Chain A
Amino acid sequence: MTLQDLIATLSGYWASRGCLIHQPLDLEIGAGTMHPETFLRVLGPSPWRVAYVQPSRRPADGRFGENPNRLFKHHQFQVILKPAPDRSQQLYLESLEACGIDCGAHDVRFEEDNWESPTLGAWGIGWQVMLDGQEITQFTYFQQAGGQVLSPISTEITYGLERIAMLLQRVDNVFDLEWAPGVKYGAVRQQEEVEQSKYVFGQVDLAPIEFAKFHRDLFDRYHAFATMLLDSRLVLPALDYCLKCSHVFNVLDASSGVGVTERTAYILRVRQLAVAIARAYTGAAAEDVDE
């Protein structure tokens, strides 16, 4: 099964289970959770079911296209089921079967792994799903997002598409994956991995101090702009700019431009924005934001 077949199969499967098939957020983000279709939709009482692919950028995981397992950017297939159905786990396992994984022929396990995103003020209870010792999915019952306690609870299923495709195709190097018949993952993405890694690790014609300064300035300007947008009651644009802050911070962090104390301060600034955005979205009464 090619990578694109896998995406098509999962999309078809979840569409048939009542999910709206959405599209990726067109911004640089680190995980499908940050997409408003997850971050905002899990808030409040309204039921929602959605699935989408989200290209996810993790600057610190960039390896110049040389590591067979680590990528600056990987692809997640994200599913939100709200409220969390009683059959959440079965629905998930049936989706694996749909992709051609015979769970009865493998060692499939749900191992404790609680998910937490300090920048989003979000956490959940759940597992990493292991197939023969390989983590293929993060499965979470959301408990809190944007600092708000959730009711009802949502199920979040995050498939690691490259991992699952590697398993199905039995390849050991992500760049050897077949994306489409006859087209390798490397042919599609290797150059991007090389160049993006060089960028985030600061291998550019700019002194490190200038590189850091540029990103710090960007952060501050995005942050101020997000605050302004929020004051203008524009929740979705404010979230866009909040996520831009998060990404710029990740680049700074990867390029070693941030000390630990400062790191905590940056994360706190993004979280305070995320919490304010969530509050504006639900119209929740103002509460004190804890640090």
Chain B
Amino acid sequence: MSGELLIEIGCEEMPASWLPRLTRDLARQLQQRLTEGRVVASAPSACSTPRRLVVAVAGVAERQEALEELVTGPPVSAGYTPDGTPTKAAAGFARKHGVEVSALVEVDTPKGRYLAHQRHQAGLPTIEVLPAVLAATLRDLAFPKQMQWDAQLDDGKGELPFGRPIRWLVFLLDGQIVPFTIGRTSAAEGADVAVVEASNVTFGHRFLGSDPGEPVTVHSIADHRAALAERYVVLERDARLEQIRTALVALAEEHGGAVDLASPTLAALVEEVPDLVEYPMVVAGGFDEAFLELPGEVLATTMIHHQHFFPVAARQNGLAPTFLAVTNTAPENAERVSRNAERVLAARLRDARFFWEADRKVPLESRFERLATVLFHKRLGSYREKSDRMEELVGWIARDVLDRDDARADARSAARLAKADLATEMVGEFAELQGVMGGIYAREQQLPEPVWQAIYHHYLPVSPEPTAAPAKADLGAGAVTWAAVALADKLDTIVGLFRAGERPTGSRDPFGLRRQAHGVFKVLIDLPELTGLSSRPSLGALLSAADKPFKTEDPEKEIEVGAELLGFMLERLQYVLEQRGHDIRNVRAVVGAMGTNVIPLDALRKLEVLPEFTESAEFRQLAVAFKRVRNIARELPVEEFESAEATGGELGLSLQEPAEKELLKEIETRQPVFDAALATGKDFRRGFAEAAKFGPAVDRFFTDVFVMVDDPVVRTARLRLMKRLERVILQLGDISEIVADAEG
């Protein structure tokens, strides 16, 4: 180890949301490219501000590692004539590597004995290797959206698109400038468009300091840090974040309020602001108390989403007429900046108040017709049509799925009005308030709580974690109606868009259908906690009800769409259950074989007890045997099995061997226990325990009995036995999955 490496890519303001990922990628890609370039180096550490991506490596070898490589040539047999003279092949190979044939070695390979050349390539000085390392690293960086800026590299790959234009480049190995140039395309190059040459010159904050915009020369990593620190650049994101947090909390207190930076509404903002500034300075401002009559959600959205301002909670409850803004300027400007920010916010709040007042003049119900002009999807019609479908579906869900006929009328009203706020001025301006705004307007109109709560929360949940919003306490009297409307909305969207041919593929999921499916399963598996209900809806019933309005006369299409949809939903259910920490093999066992009959809540309950069994020898023995059971049972098609069961007489009479009689007895005695355990969905532990007891009988059966005998009567009887056993155990799941390879 000898030198230190410093790279600073000075750029125009990079989008804040890209920086964390970009910073990690820069360190990782540089490390990988150094390794590929055979340069031994300590781990790179990267940091960034909106105007610079910096990566430093404390220890870099002076020279590239030498390359030792064995290059194989022709087989020995083809290298020499019988009298030992080298052939043309051997001579050619030697010449290609600049050595005599006598210098070649012989190596044994799986294909035989070959001639080979031991190649040595001395390492180059690191400074000669670094330009290619940086070129590759620049190309490696991926941006959510990249731009052309008339730049190119002479690495043979032409133009160099980037996230934002690069304006300077510090590239120093142990204080020495590494020669590197970013060229410009001939279309642009000229007096005002020049190449970017690597140098030892950086720039401080754009506006602050005694000589903003003046270049400053640096010679080392430490030098660079010090120079930037003096010039109002806090290079470490963590340091900026900490300064911001401290100032926010202190200022809120100073103004008689508080900011809860961990709250879901502020957490994302607090993670964003450090990447918007080089020198964070927090200012406080106020607004007219009269604006506090606006709903808190509207105030917060105006401040957070439109201005990146932090609302301040009042001591008592609600919001204080105060906001905090993270700026990129010096403390002496605080007063001026704050006054201007107050004027901007006041203008925004006046707009919001205008919408608030205008919207409330018209009841939500009367906006329903306007929804006919708001398109949901070109093949599925307007939101008006979607609302009609949701209203039908939600009524069925309330009565037949959740068993709450009493909630049906409210659920229907909520579903009918759920999308009405799309036609309000407020949602036109603040799209992120959809649902919430409808809920608030419904509340203002004195609609019953189960109705407005369901509207308010119906876009939730948007993620599957147990802690994802809404919490039971948030739902008040609207828990049941919310569950019904949320399910109806999401199921209608998923089924409808599958029908419209918008099925997600690979990384493409423009309508967020995966997220919608996660929402469906979150509602279904957390139903008891969120609503106190004990119903256990099956996936198939929900899908087929949601699909009713879209049915066609084309049986082939029906089968195709049905299979696609079911496959998608089962895959999403497995994902959600795996996210909850369950072993993928167990998840496959309880979901995979179930098909449309899967009850998501039962699947979760099974997974909670299944690990108690998967390590027991008895259960694993059964799992292995069950695979055989399933394979053999496949020999008897379902229709034949059913007709044999119906007309083939008492199974016991057709069985002869003791082992098979014993297995039948086991099934007959244990079946009632299973049925009882499974019917309530409450005692899967007992179910698995019972299943484990089948092990010895099944093993004995396979040892003593040959199923596929020539006698068709005996064979069918034995297959019936296998099929019955399969059916009993499949109620728990395909337990053969638990002994499958993890990769499956």
Contact = CB atoms under 8 A, between A and B. Distances in A.
Contacts of B333: 105-107
B268 interface: no
A84 B329 contact: no
Contacts of A110: 12-13, 50
A83 B148 CA distance: 12
Contacts of B194: 86
Interface in B141-162: 145, 147-150
Interface in B697-742: none
Given A151-B150, A152-B150, A106 B337 contact: yes
Contact of A261 (B16, B212, B375): B375
Given A152-B150, A256-B373, A104 B13 contact: no
Contact of A83 (B164, B187, B276): B187
Contact of B147 (A45, A106, A125): A125
A112 B190 CA distance: 28
Contacts of B307: 133
Interface in B1-53: 12-13, 15-17, 50
Nearest to B213: A90
Given A114-B145, A132-B337, A151-B148, A125 B375 contact: no
A134 interface: yes
A153 B344 contact: no
B148 A107 contact: no
A122 to B, nearest CB: 14
A167 B145 CA distance: 33
A132 B344 contact: yes
Interface in B291-341: 307, 309, 325, 327-329, 333, 336-337, 340-341
A70 B348 CA distance: 11
B147 A141 contact: yes
B208 A104 contact: yes
A260 B345 CA distance: 32
Interface string B359-401: 0000000000000111100100010000000000000000000
B150 A260 contact: no
A5 B477 CA distance: 61
B546 to A, nearest CB: 23
A83 B185 CA distance: 11
Q: How large is the interface on B (under 10, 10 to 19, 20 to 34, 35 or more residues)?
A: 35 or more
B375 A172 contact: no
Nearest to B194: A86
Given A68-B347, A83-B192, A125-B145, A132 B340 contact: yes
A112 B15 contact: yes
B550 interface: no
Interface string A249-283: 00000001001110010000000000000000000
B187 A261 contact: no
B347 A172 contact: yes
Contacts of A109: 13, 276-277, 328
Contacts of A47: 190
Contacts of A125: 145, 147, 164
Contact of A106 (B15, B213, B340, B373): B340
A131 interface: yes
B375 A69 contact: no
A143 interface: yes
Interface in B120-156: 145, 147-150
B165 interface: yes
A89 B207 CA distance: 13
Contacts of B192: 83, 85-87
Given A83-B192, A104-B208, A141 B276 contact: no
Contacts of A149: 148
Nearest to B354: A67
A287 to B, nearest CB: 19
Given A151-B187, A152-B150, A104 B378 contact: no
Interface string A123-160: 00101000111100000010100000111110000000
Contacts, number: 126
Nearest to B325: A133
Nearest to B208: A104
A86 B192 CA distance: 6
B343 interface: yes
Contacts of B373: 256, 259-260
A107 B188 contact: no
A234 interface: no
B89 interface: no
B113 interface: no
B196 to A, nearest CB: 8
B443 interface: no
A260 B372 CA distance: 9
Contacts of B277: 109
Contacts of B207: 103-104, 108
Nearest to A257: B373
A217 interface: no
Contacts of B344: 132-134
B346 interface: yes
Contact of A107 (B16, B147, B327): B327
Contacts of B147: 125, 141, 143, 153
Contacts of B665: none
Nearest to A109: B328
Contacts of B15: 112
Contacts of A231: none
B360 to A, nearest CB: 18
Contacts of A106: 329, 333, 336-337, 340
A220 interface: no
A171 to B, nearest CB: 9
A212 B86 CA distance: 92
B187 A104 contact: no
Contacts of A114: 145
Contacts of A143: 147-148
Given A84-B149, A85-B192, A110-B13, A141 B340 contact: no
Contacts of A261: 375, 378
A253 B327 CA distance: 38
B167 interface: yes
Interface string A82-116: 01111101100100000000011111111110100
B165 A141 contact: yes
Nearest to B326: A107
B350 interface: yes
Nearest to A82: B188
A87 B354 CA distance: 42
A4 B394 CA distance: 60
B193 A111 contact: no
Nearest to A172: B343
B337 A107 contact: yes
B351 interface: yes
A133 B341 contact: yes
B251 to A, nearest CB: 16
A225 B81 CA distance: 85
A104 B327 CA distance: 12
Nearest to A81: B192
Nearest to B192: A85
29 contacts: A67-B351, A83-B192, A83-B193, A84-B150, A84-B188, A84-B193, A86-B193, A90-B213, A103-B207, A105-B336, A107-B327, A107-B329, A107-B333, A107-B337, A109-B13, A110-B13, A111-B13, A111-B276, A125-B145, A125-B164, A127-B13, A133-B325, A133-B345, A143-B147, A149-B148, A151-B148, A151-B187, A172-B343, A261-B375
Interface of A: 45, 47, 67-70, 83-87, 89-90, 93, 103-112, 114, 125, 127, 131-134, 141, 143, 149-153, 167, 172, 256, 259-261, 264
* A-B complex: 3 closest residue pairs judged by Cβ atoms: A260-B375, A132-B340, A85-B192
Interface of B: 12-13, 15-17, 50, 145, 147-150, 164-165, 167, 185, 187-188, 190, 192-194, 206-208, 212-213, 276-277, 307, 309, 325, 327-329, 333, 336-337, 340-341, 343-347, 350-351, 354, 372-375, 378, 382
Given A83-B188, A153-B188, 4 more contacts: A69-B347, A87-B192, A143-B147, A151-B148
